[in-house]
Structure 1
Amino acid sequence: MTKKIILLSAIYFFLISCNSEDDNYENIVTTTYPNVEVAFGTKIDLENLSNYANQTIPSYITKDNTNGNPINDKVATLGRVLFYDKNLSANNTISCASCHQQANAFSDGNIASTGINGTTTRHAMRLINSRFANETKFFWDERATSLEKQTTQPIENHIEMGFSGTNGDENFSILISKLQNIGYYQELFQFAYGSTTITEAKIQTALAQFIRSIQSFDSKYDAGRALVGNENQPFANFTMQENQGKNLFLTPPQFNATGSRIGGGVGCAGCHAAPEFDINPNSGNNGIIGILNGTGIDITNTRSPSLRDLVKTDGTTNGPMMHTGVFTTLQTVIGHYGTINLAPGNTNLDPKLRPNGFGQQLNLNATEVNALIAFLKTLSGTNVYTDKKWSDPF
């Protein structure tokens, strides 16, 4: 009996002690990432992450260049912050998103983008569905062998973001030190990688995951494609004009001996195969060989973004097209492919554009041009322009 009394007394005094020392004991909350909370408020909630890793991908989409860097919600969240952070430029004025804007399908409405030391030498490529392609090289001239390696080259460019280590610029190691001293990066790198240590490889991995997460599969094309066995069948939700444009796009042309089309379609799918509409990795250039802000020719530009989201939902283009931004309407783009000129010095023109050694002449009529335009517009979705997980967190 004495032992029971002693034990009950001990419990009683323990409970009294807890209540008297801290009447708000149950209301104490430990904030693990205070700097993230201060910097981003409710735009980033590390306890309720946006879905980057498990988005719905249609079963007919089979191309993927992830290459050993699968998307992880934590790492992609870090990538989002890096993508929008102007601290990644030498003078804190330019971010990746300055040139790749969500409102323009992650492209730029201007022909050339503004960097910290001038304007870019090529138009900013759209980043829609970068993951869903056989092509693993990036930039218009394919100089980056992976998306990971591409992501930090603009940062290390003297004109763009200024950590080049040349022309009086500081090098990338200075950027790492800069980020290491920012509180929210200490927390985000710990959250994503289990360590506060920042490296270029970690930055590349995170940026690449965020960019690969930017996908668009809510278009009129996707709604029609989901109802058929293959893209060659008529889409029930398409108008007659849209189905005609689809057939023209998919069907190879027939040429005579001098490269003039005499039948068939126009064969866009030879380089931009459905349903991803990415670029064939073995493509040559498309005959646009001008140099932005310079003279002479450049025949090295053999890559392009997916043809998805060429236009917004209102039909206006997501900025100018081609590496020189030379075209501003779908009609002028189609007109270019309709008559290919064999320019002197262009030894890298794609063979499909020079049948029988002649520049192709598609001889399109107005009905065919309008049908192609109508079809290309079906490739645009809506969600990519408004989804908060791809928006500016600052």
Structure 2
Amino acid sequence: MKALLKRLSFIILAFIILSCSNSNESDYQSIPTEEFPNVNATFGTKLDLANLYNYANQTIPNYITKNNSGSNLITDKGATLGRVLFYDKNLSSNNTISCASCHQQSNAFSDSNDVSNGVNGTTDRHSMRLVNNRFALESKFFWDKRAASLEIQTTQPIQNHIEMGFSGTNGDQNFTALISKLNGISYYKELFKFAYGSEEITQSKIQLALAQFVKSIQSFDSKYDIGRAQVVTDNQPFPNFTQQENSGKNLFITPPVFDSTGNRTSGGLGCAGCHKAPEFDIDPNSRNNGIIGTVSGTGIDISITRVPSLRDLVKQDGTLNGNMMHTAVITSLQAAIGHYGTINIAPGNTNLDPRLTPNGFGQQLHLTATEVNAVIAFLKTLSGSNVYVDPKWSTPFPN
């Protein structure tokens, strides 16, 4: 009898815990949609506030351990507001550009153009992919890491004269004018009240919501992930990989061995020195990778030290999600590998990563065609499919 009572107590306790863990979701379901007539009229069934998408509790593989979310944790309500803001062209001065104009879901939230179109011209740099940005040690954003957090980053394009035009300079209105503009849009009053309990619109609230939406964009359904879930470490052969893909993985992970003049004599390519598996994010201590571009009015651009995760460099069919690097000068995976195969120390590049200059010389990997093809095959395994089609990351606007 005691054993039976003990078992029943465990069942009751489990039921209570399960009920509590689902309490937030049930609260969302109970919201009367008639309280949001302007949201319903504008978005129809594409934005159902009574049945929110799951942003806050998405499945994350247990081998993913990095997280730079900070205190602004993802909520379903906040990310839903962020989704609307991300796709709304009203956030630009002439109603023609949204965040999604330069970060397109069909391209892993990058741009197929080398540089992006803004309200007053084109950007200086290629639009960075936004996939898995929170699963990283690096917490700074933009190619040159000038934003200390994703929250700060989200509104800088809005306040840029070229990009979205609320800069307060060059004849632009300032961010206060944007807030006034959003206050005049009826669905925003409802959405801010829905997310924050108040109709008040502030820059801080916009930053929090946009950052939550961007943080929610994740990709863990690749061939790599299927294989990684079956092994203990990345050093083991993946059961679902071809021999070529496993060879490419080993070359990616294994450091090269150099002679006194920077020539590889054995080992792999050492890509994981800056892009460590399984997140494939950038090492925060990385410096310039040898790609030098120009920025209008500032001369050569050697400040670039941040890059997106290597996940979803290409779609599953192997086509690029836009050209690579901040200059978009690299147009294929083969060219990307080739760049690191022969590093030339360009005059004026005082910020070149020392890992690319063994013994003071630009590294010479002396890659064979077999090695290049193997690494390309491995990089393609890092691409998923859901990120391109999941409706929770798509536009909420009907047209």
TM-score (norm 2): 0.91
Deviations 1:141-163 (A, max 9, x none): 00000000000000000000000
Confirm or deny that 1:290 pairs with 2:301. no
CA contact (8 A) 2:33 2:49 kept: no
Alignment-derived partner of residue 26 in structure 2: none
Which among 216, 226, 231 is matched to residue 228 of structure 1?
A: 231
Larger Rg: 1
Amino acid at match of 2:311: R
Question: Distance in 2 between the 1:218 and 1:292 partners?
Answer: 36
Q: Secondary structure at the match of 1:111?
A: coil
Q: Is the 8 A contact 1:128 1:214 kept in 2?
A: yes
8 A Cα contact 1:66 1:131, kept in partner: yes
Conserved? CA contact 2:64–2:278, under 8 Å: yes
Distance in 2 (CA, whole Å) between partners of 1:264 and 1:344 is 29
CA shift, 1:139, in A, is: 0.2
Number of the residue aligned with 1:25: none
User: 1:329-368 CA deviation, whole Å, 9 max, x = no partner?
Assistant: 0000000000000011111000100000000000000000
Deviation per CA, 1:97-137: give whole Å up to 9, x if none.
00000000000000000000000000000000011000000
Cα displacement (A) at 1:297: 1.5
In the alignment, structure 1 residue 311 sits paired with structure 2 residue 311: no
Q: Tell me what 1:45 maps to.
A: 48
Q: How do residues 128-147 of structure 1 correspond to structure 2 at under 5 angstroms? A: 128-147=131-150
Task: Give the structure 2 partner of residue 302 of structure 1.
Answer: 305
Q: Which moved more, 1:290-299 or 1:242-251?
A: 290-299
Q: 1:30 to 1:258 in 2, by over 3 A?
A: closer
Q: What is the one-letter code of the residue matched to 2:54?
A: N
**Counterpart pick for 2:219 among 203, 210, 216:** 216
1:292 Cα offset (Å): 5.9
Which 4+ runs in 1 deviate beyond 3 A?
Answer: 292-296
Root mean square deviation, CA, Å: 1.0
For 2:179 and 2:33, how far apart are their aligned partners in 1? 29
- Pick from 325, 328, 331 the counterpart of residue 328 of structure 2: 325
| Equivalent position SS for 1:31 | helix
**Residue in structure 1 matched with residue 375 of structure 2 by the alignment:** 372
287-296 or 207-216: which moved more? 287-296
1:30 is displaced (CA, Å) by 7.2
Contact 2:295–2:301 (Cα < 8 Å) also in 1:
no
1:164-195 deviation digits (Å, cap 9, x = unpaired): 00000000000001001111100000000000
SS of the residue aligned with 1:258? coil
- Look up the equivalent residue of 1:150 and give its one-letter code: Q
Equivalent residue number for residue 60 of structure 1? 63
Q: Structure 1: which 5+ runs fail to align?
A: 1-28
Kindly indicate whether the alpha-carbon contact (under 8 Å) linking 1:292 and 1:324 is maintained by their aligned counterparts in 2: no
Name the counterpart of 1:255.
258
Aligned-partner Cα distance in 1 for 2:358–2:293: 22
AA at the equivalent of 1:309: D
Q: Does 1:391 align with 2:394?
A: yes
Indicate which of 62, 85, 103 corresponds to 1:82. Answer: 85
Unmatched tracts of structure 2, length 5 or more: 1-31
1:356 equivalent among 352, 356, 359? 359
Counterpart Cα distance in 1 of 2:194 and 2:377: 46
Counterpart residue number, 1:183: 186
Q: Which amino acid aligns with 2:240?
A: N
1:207 alignment partner, one of 194, 205, 210: 210
Q: What's the secondary structure of 2:257's corresponding residue?
A: strand
Q: 1:344 aligns with which of 343, 347, 350?
A: 347
Question: Aligned residues: percent identity?
Answer: 75
Letter in structure 1 aligned against 2:46: K
Counterpart AA for 2:369: A
Tell me the secondary structure at the aligned position of residue 294 of structure 2. Answer: coil
| Alpha-carbon distance in structure 1 between the residues aligned to 2:46 and 2:258 | 55
Mapped to 1, the partners of 2:152 and 2:319 lie a distance apart of 32
- Cα distance in structure 1, aligned partners of 2:33 and 2:102: 39
Corresponding position: 1:245 with 2:248: yes
Out of 94, 99, 108, the residue aligned to residue 105 of structure 1 is 108
Q: In 2, distance between residues paired with 1:130 and 1:325? A: 19
Give the match for residue 123 of structure 2: 120
One-letter code aligned to 1:279: I
CA positional deviation for 1:296: 3.9
The answer as to 2:55 corresponding to 1:32 is no
TM-score between the two structures when normalised by the length of structure 1: 0.92
